[in-house]
Amino acid sequence: MKSASILFVLCAAVLWGTTGTAQSFAPDDTHPVAFGAFRLCIGGGALLLFSILQKNFSFSGWPRQSLLAAALCMAFYQPFFFSAVLITGVAVGTVTAIGSAPVIAGLLEFLLYKRIPSRTWWLATFTAITGCVFLFANPEAITVDPVGMLLALGAGTAFATYTIVSKELLTIHSPDTVTAVVFTFAAMILAPVLLFFDLSWIATPEGIGSGLYIGVIATAIAYLLFARGLTDIKSSTAVTLSLAEPMTAALLGVMLVGETLSLLSWTGILLLMMSIVILSFKRKTEAGI
């Protein structure tokens, strides 16, 4: 496994971990579905411009089913994730969505490719999920809402599926091209949603500031990094490494939103760090799908 690929995925996860906190700075009347759609449109537009400037953007030569699946997953991930964050809170929404994704990715790899993840992956994933449980084990800081939890699980499923399908697309196109084309289609799918919401919040400094940050930094740049890292590591491994996202979200929640963490929660952060170390020190490169 190439260390640069691991670093790319970790950097992407850290950027993703800022999305929930950034959303909390948006105007109070901002609907999460509209925010997610706006984020995707900004991110997709930035990626499209980047790809055009590189002169490598093309709609030809793509497997239609895989491309559509990746675009739909990314389009649905936005409203699922931001709605879950609104209902359950930044911490629980993020950790449920991303915490469920590694298990779902491992299951999908087995069902699609008949490949059982390695022992190292199981150890790292178990350590990371345990860390997530410890991280948000304070009952006073948790809002358990069935609808919110289902939305978060839907987001986790969408992310895991997007990762596996994107891995397939990376075998025939470059990471930058895959990200640009998928997000362009995803933005086109979700853009009509904006017509059903009040978008006056976009004209406010908080609205445009948080939207541009999440769209350009935490979406366009983050997913470019993720795709580049995904070229040299397995989908399930990349999804497990993305658990750096809830760790980032928790730390930002403490520093910027005023949330508090118990000793058990800090233990969870330590376990998450350990899971990253376990995967990072694997000697055998995993370049399979």
pLDDT tens by residue, 181-215:
999 999 999 889 888 888 888 888 888 898 899 99
CA distance 239 to 86: 23
Decide: 81 and 214 in contact? Cβ < 8 Å.
no
pLDDT for the residue 219: 92
| Residue ranges of domains in the chain | 3-280
pLDDT (tens digit per residue) in 118-145: 888 888 888 888 888 787 666 555 556 7
Q: What is the pTM of this model?
A: 0.85
pLDDT for the residue 285: 44
CA distance 54 to 57: 8
pLDDT for the residue 283: 44
Phi, psi of 6 (to 5 degrees): -60, -45
H or E element that contains 104: helix 90-113
pLDDT for the residue 286: 46
Q: Is 191 exposed, middle or buried (0-12, 13-18, 19+ CB in 10 A)?
A: middle
How many C-beta neighbours within 10 Å does residue 256 have?
13
Decide: 106 and 117 in contact? Cβ < 8 Å.
yes
| Mean per-residue pLDDT pooled into runs of 10, the chain (289 residues) | 82 87 78 84 90 77 90 90 77 75 87 81 86 71 74 92 93 89 92 88 88 92 94 88 82 73 82 84 50
pLDDT for the residue 143: 58
Phi and psi based region of residue 50 (left: phi greater than 0; alpha: psi -120 to 50; beta: remaining): alpha
